């Protein structure tokens, strides 16, 4: 029953925040609802990890529509985690923006609806219903992307809506073809992920392949796979920072989850080369993002491109063979979510301190806001895979799996791209944090002899600090130690890919 409660909570919260009372009411309701969601999601994840079934007690025929296995529970847990830290971060961040109370209520109402649409993705079992909630994530977040109503934000939101919905149109076609394939298989199973796997061997291969490609391209648009990524850096940089953390940190992974659901189905049709498609698309995404990272001018866009890179890495890992690299792919999803949300919190702290997103305009941040600087450096190191942090572990195991599969070219290229991305990101962050303040854009450390101006210190709001500490804990811990229940959950999630 707790699955249904998880879905209802954000909806109730979305209604409650519209009540016009004190300004902290809306943020308080959101934080409480997301913390409760996190607790419930953790309980579900623990039960799934222990091997229990969680949906047998559902009434009203809901068990047809809702199913939670290892993969779903993992994504659900991650969504709840990022939604919680982002809700806590929002308290301080939105207070800093000095908005009208009505606008703030609008933000929180949208926030909760967006969280609802994401939470529904992993627990729904009917593919067309999943398509609908995927579309809802776009629609609920569109007004959050355009929230600041600047020219750039509106442009980003418009591109986001048009391209994502264009992809969604193709994906809808794919899901309808998939349904036709299910009917043509003569299998009387229900149209769910589970039923698809059962019916897959008797489906006409051509329908299955068409559906797979349409869904891969259609939903790949929303995941940000190159060459359908063009909207992603815009939308993921223009939104308010907590929303960026949600969009980049977890929404992309949640949509990728839907694509991953198709891989066990595609096992029935080995001639479709589903894994090769994933490998190639993933590699192209990683490569393009790595080079674009070198020339970004906006530090939020930088982290957005890093999301494109990471989605490519995850897809590549699945393409290497789910039986070998499935666990690594799941670990990469986890480490990406926790690290990327932290990175955006750090970027938001820098933005609050300096008020500009231009990399060239930020120099010597360490004097202005030590907290934001430390967070940026830590986030940069963590997201680029410096040891001993979470991303390092997962990227390393993916490279190892690649070598085991004898995919030397792909693995070699991946390693090179990861290194390029590391230098791209750390170069920009280094200039922002330690660069001499006087130099305009050149960042040459030679002119340090000029007397540094006394800088007014910026104090990060308490809730932002709290959210960043919460987000940093798993980044640190998962690099060196994976708790037993999480390990079980990851193994089960990887198993869901291979069946």
Partner 1 sequence: MSDTTNQLLDNLNALATGLFLLTAFGIVAMRQVRGCLNLFIIQSLLLAASAALLGLRHGSEHLYGVALVNLISKPIIVPWLLRRTVSAEIYTRREIDQVLNIPTALLIALALTILSYFLAQPLLGAVAPEFRGPNVPIGIAGLLLGAFTLTVRREALPLLIGLLVMENGAFLTGISISRNLPLLVELAIATDGLIIVFISGVLIRAVQKHIGTTAVGELASLKERDAEPATTETIK
Residues that bind partner 1 (CB under 8 A): 126, 128-129, 132, 135-136, 139, 142-143, 146, 149-152, 154-159, 161-162, 165-166, 169-170, 172-173, 176-177, 179-181, 183-184, 191, 204, 206-207, 210, 230, 233-234, 238, 292, 295-297, 301
DSSP string, 407-434: -HHHHHHHHHHHHHHHHHHHHHHHHHHH
Q: Is the CB of 160 or the CB of 342 nearer to partner 1? A: 160
Enumerate residues 6+ apart whose C-beta is below 8 A from 496. Answer: 69, 70, 71, 264
Q: Answer positive or negative: Cα dihedral of 413, 418, 424, 427.
A: negative
Smallest gap from Cβ 290 to partner 1, in A, equals 13
Cβ at position 377, least distance to partner 1 in Å: 23
CA–CA distance from 220 to each of 214, 227, 228, 317 (Å)? 9, 9, 7, 16
> What angle is formed at CA 278 by the lines to CA 71 and CA 492, rounded to 5 degrees?
20
**Is the Cβ of residue 32 or residue 213 nearer to partner 1 in the bound state?**
213
Residue 103 neighbours by CB under 8 Å, 6+ apart: none
From the list 373, 497, 387, 498, the residue with the least C-alpha distance to 429 is 373
Is 297 or 499 the residue whose CB approaches partner 1 more closely? Answer: 297
User: Cβ 230 to partner 1, closest distance in Å?
Assistant: 5
CB of 328 to partner 1, least distance (A): 30
Q: How far is the CB of 9 from partner 1 (least distance, A)?
A: 21
Residue 93 or 191 with smaller CB distance to partner 1: 191
Residue 443: asked if its preceding bond is cis (omega within 30°), the reply is no
Residue that has been written with the tokens 């940190």 in this structure: 249
Residue 321, φ and ψ in degrees, nearest 5:
120, 110
| Shortest CB 225 distance to partner 1, Å | 15
Token representation of residue 416: 């090179």
In angstroms, what is the minimal distance from the CB of 105 to partner 1? 16
36 or 154: whose CB is closer to partner 1? 154
Question: In this complex, which beta carbon is closest to partner 1, that of residue 156 or of residue 350?
Answer: 156
Per the CB < 8 A criterion, the answer to whether 152 and 238 are in contact is: yes
Q: Which residue's entry shows tokens 């993002």?
A: 289
If the CB atoms of residues 112 and 238 are measured against partner 1, the closer one turns out to be: 238
Closer CB to partner 1, residue 288 or residue 369?
288
Using CB atoms within 10 Å of the CB of residue 21, give its burial: 0 to 12 exposed, 13 to 18 middle, 19+ buried. exposed
Q: In the bound complex, what is the minimum distance in angstroms from residue 131's beta carbon to partner 1?
A: 8
Tell me how far, at minimum, the Cβ of 478 lies from partner 1, in Å.
Answer: 32
Q: How far is the CB of 244 from partner 1 (least distance, A)?
A: 14
Cβ(305)–Cβ(293) below 8 Å:
yes
Of the two residues 38 and 293, which places its CB atom closer to partner 1 in the complex? Answer: 293
> Is residue 385 helix, strand or coil?
coil
Q: Determine the Cα angle at 355 with ends 423 and 335, to 5°.
A: 40
**Comparison of 441 and 452: residue with beta carbon closer to partner 1:** 441
**Residue located via tokens 């229940």:** 485
Q: Burial, 452: exposed, middle or buried (Cβ in 10 Å; 0-12, 13-18, 19+)? A: exposed
**Angle of helix 462-480 relative to helix 322-354, nearest 10 degrees?**
150
């Amino acid at each position: 029953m707790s699955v249904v409660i998880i879905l209802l909570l954000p909806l109730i919260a979305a209604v409650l925040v519209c009540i016009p009372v004190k300004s902290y009411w809306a943020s308080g309701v959101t934080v409480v609802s997301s913390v409760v969601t996190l607790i419930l999601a953790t309980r579900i994840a623990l039960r799934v990890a222990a091997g229990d079934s969680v949906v047998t007690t559902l009434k009203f025929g809901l068990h047809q529509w809702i199913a939670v296995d290892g993969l779903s529970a993992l994504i659900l847990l991650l969504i709840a985690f990022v939604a919680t830290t982002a809700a806590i971060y929002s308290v301080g961040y939105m207070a800093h923006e000095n908005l009208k109370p009505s606008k703030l209520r609008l933000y929180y109402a949208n926030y909760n609806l967006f969280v609802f649409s994401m939470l529904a993705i992993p627990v729904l079992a009917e593919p067309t219903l999943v398509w609908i909630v995927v579309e809802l994530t776009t629609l609920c977040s569109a007004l959050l992307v355009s929230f600041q109503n600047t020219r750039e934000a509106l442009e980003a939101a418009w591109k986001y809506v048009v391209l994502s919905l264009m992809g969604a149109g193709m994906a809808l076609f794919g899901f309808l073809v998939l349904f036709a394939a299910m009917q043509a298989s003569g299998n009387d199973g229900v149209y769910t992920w589970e039923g698809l796997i059962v019916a897959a061997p008797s489906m006409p291969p051509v329908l299955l392949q068409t559906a797979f490609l349409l869904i891969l391209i259609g939903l790949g648009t929303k995941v940000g796979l190159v060459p359908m990524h063009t909207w992603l850096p815009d939308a993921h940089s223009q939104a308010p920072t907590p929303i960026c953390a949600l969009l980049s940190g977890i929404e992309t992974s949640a949509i990728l989850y839907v694509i991953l659901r198709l891989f066990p189905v595609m096992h029935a049709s080995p001639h479709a080369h589903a894994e090769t498609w994933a490998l190639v698309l993933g590699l192209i995404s990683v490569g393009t993002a790595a080079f674009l990272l070198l020339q970004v001018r906006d530090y939020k866009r930088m982290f957005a491109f890093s999301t494109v890179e990471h989605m490519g890495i995850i897809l590549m890992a699945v393409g290497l063979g789910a039986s070998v690299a499935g666990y690594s792919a799941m670990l990469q999803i986890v480490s990406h979510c926790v690290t990327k949300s932290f990175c955006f919190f750090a970027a938001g702290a820098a933005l609050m301190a300096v008020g500009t997103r231009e990399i060239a305009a930020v120099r010597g941040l360490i004097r202005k806001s030590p907290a934001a600087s430390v967070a940026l450096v830590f986030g940069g190191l963590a997201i680029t895979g410096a040891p001993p942090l979470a991303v390092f572990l997962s990227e390393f195991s993916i490279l190892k799996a690649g070598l085991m599969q004898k995919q030397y070219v792909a693995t070699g290229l991946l390693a090179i791209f990861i290194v390029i991305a590391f230098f791209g990101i750390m170069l920009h962050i280094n200039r922002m944090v330690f660069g001499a303040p006087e130099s305009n854009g050149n960042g040459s450390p030679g002119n340090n002899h000029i007397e540094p101006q006394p800088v007014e210190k910026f104090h990060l709001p308490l809730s932002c600090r709290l959210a960043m500490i919460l987000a940093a804990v798993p980044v640190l811990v998962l690099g060196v130690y994976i708790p037993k229940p999480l390990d079980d959950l990851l193994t089960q999630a990887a198993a869901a890919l291979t069946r």
